[in-house]
Amino acid sequence: MSLVSGDGAPHTFIVDVDKDGVIPNPTCSIDKCSPQFSTSTPYPFAVDFGPGTFTYYCSIHLTMMVGAFIVSDFGVSSSPSSLTIPQGSNANSTVSIMSLNNYAGAVTLSATPPTSWPPPFFGVNPVPISSGMTSTSKLTIYVPPGTSQGPYSVTVTASDSFISHSTNVAVNVPAPSFTVSASPATLTINSGSSGTSTITVAGSYGFSGTVSLSATVPSGSATTMLSSASVMLSATATSATSMLTVSSALGMFSVTVTATSGSTAPSTLVAVNGPDFSIKTSPSTVSLSQGSSAMLAITLSSVNGFSGAVALLAFPSIGGPPVTVSPTNLQVPSSGSVSATLTVIASSSGAYSTPISPGSYTITLNATMGSLSHTETIPLTVTSPSSGVGILASPIVIGGIVAAIAVVAGTVYVLRHRPKTKT
């Protein structure tokens, strides 16, 4: 800006930049001073301070020659200010130029990308700015192929003849990668049948290369086969598929499909519901008193066409009453169910059994066929017999009483029928 003296005398004009109202000497360490010029010469100032309203003074007439002026400016910003751009791709950010203090003019944009990147492109450049308004220009940033993974920055500068401002656009270049998925993710396979799932490998962030596929299952669970042991991905072929076939399945398990390329090896799971059997006990809990017994029904049912011989084994927890299962082997039909009986005896006393103390126990029931195994845990409670009733109800106690009565009766009989001795 410039000021012109009207009194015909040379002056030095001072701008109060720090707005403290103190008039400095002409050295002007903080405030801005014009050079001293001869009469009727414009007094130039370098406006290198921020926008706002400022007061200026005359060095000769400090109180008489006072005025104010407004410094206009513009601001620059970008949205979004952060971009994720895979190598070989581009993305856009909108650069906004805002008029401050009624700034009006044309602003030129430039961008400084990382070394080896091509210059970014602006949709509008220069950008015309009207007073009090905001104008925009679309910025396009291109990341060339082969760019290493990592964070980068592009500096955007907006300037006119006197003012220059800048903003940064952060650019994240992700590593090329790929994912693997299965559809459907769950297979239900009946006895003698097979199931299929489509395995899809999808590249991301510019991945290109060969991906190997493998399928694993728990030992003895099933046989698996992939229609393609490897697939090829590129910039144009970003996805590929292989068909997974599962046969000879037995029980419920998961197939793990792994896709491998270099050190990258994502995986996906395919849940398989194969031929199996279920186990159920009735009742599901047992409560009995000392000296009594209880029986439970064990039911094995076919699932998904299962058939085969299942072995049963039951045992109590430590200190618990003995248990027996009959029969110990059941042939489960392909449709339907079969039953067995589990017997629990809680002895209270006796010469040939260990008394079972009242308390809480468990019965563990195992049903097994080959690699298939199911376990049921049955809660068991043993209580003390009720006064009098429980004792009489005990088979062991009753047996003892009967034996005692028999001994007494035999003794009386012998005494009555022995021959009399003559005296």
Domain boundary, last residue among 143, 173, 203: 173
Rounded CA separation 127/156 (Å): 13
Whether residues 280 and 376 share a domain: the answer is: yes
Domain boundary among 246, 273, 300: 273
pTM recorded for the entire structure: 0.65
CA dist 360 and 405 (Å) reads 36
Same domain, residue pair 305 and 357: yes
Judge if 242 and 298 occupy the same domain. no
Task: With respect to residue 317, please indicate whether it lies within any of the assigned structural domains.
Answer: yes
169 inside domain: yes
Q: Are 343 and 371 within one domain?
A: yes
Weakest-pLDDT range from 218-227, 307-316, 330-339, 375-384: 218-227
**φ and ψ of 158, to 5 deg:** -115, 130
Band (406; pLDDT cuts 50, 70, 90): very low
In tens, the pLDDT along 172-193 reads 999 999 999 999 999 999 999 9
Cβ atoms within 10 Å, residue 400: 14
In-domain check, residue 9: yes
Rg (CA), the chain: 48
Report d(CA 204, CA 233) in Å as an integer: 10
* Residue 134 belongs to some domain of the structure: yes
Clarify whether residues 284 and 353 are in a common domain.
yes
CATH of the domain at 241: 2.60.40.2310
Give the largest CA-CA distance in the chain: 182
Is-contact 115 203, C-beta < 8 A?
Answer: no
- Are residues 290 and 268 part of one domain? no
Please identify, among 245, 273, 301, the residue that sits at the C-terminal boundary of a domain: 273
Residues 159 and 188 in one domain: no
Q: What is the DSSP letter of 164?
A: E
Q: How confident is the model at residue 69 (pLDDT cuts 50, 70, 90)?
A: confident
- Whether 394 is covered by a domain: the verdict is no
Number of domains forming the structure of the chain:
4
Query: What is the extent of the structural domain holding 302?
Result: 276-383
Query: What's the pLDDT score for residue 412?
Result: 44
Residue 352, pLDDT score: 53
| Same structural domain, 187 and 152 | no
DSSP states along 102-118: S--EEEEEEEEPPTTSP
Each residue of 123-144: pLDDT tens digit?
999 999 999 999 999 999 999 9
Lowest mean pLDDT among 29-38, 153-162, 363-372, 378-387: 29-38
Task: Check whether residue 264 and residue 186 sit in a common domain.
Answer: yes
**CATH number of the domain encompassing residue 80:** 2.60.40.10
Average pLDDT, the chain: 85
Higher pLDDT, 283 or 402: 283
303 three-class SS: strand
Judge whether 244 lies within some domain: yes
Residues 176 and 89: their CA atoms lie apart, in Å, by: 12
Confirm whether 318 is domain-assigned: yes
More confident of the two residues 372 and 5 = 372
27 pLDDT higher than 60: no
The verdict on residue 38 lying in a domain is yes
> Residue 423: its pLDDT value, please?
42
Residues 287 and 353 in one domain: yes
Interval 1-19: pLDDT, tens: 555 656 666 666 677 777 7
Identify whether residues 141 and 216 lie together within a single domain: no
pLDDT in tens, 224-280: 999 999 999 998 899 999 999 999 889 999 999 999 999 999 999 999 999 999 999
| pLDDT attached to residue 53 | 79
Lowest mean pLDDT among 4-8, 101-105, 232-236, 372-376: 4-8
User: What is the structure's pLDDT at 35?
Assistant: 54
Is residue 291 located within the same domain as residue 365?
yes
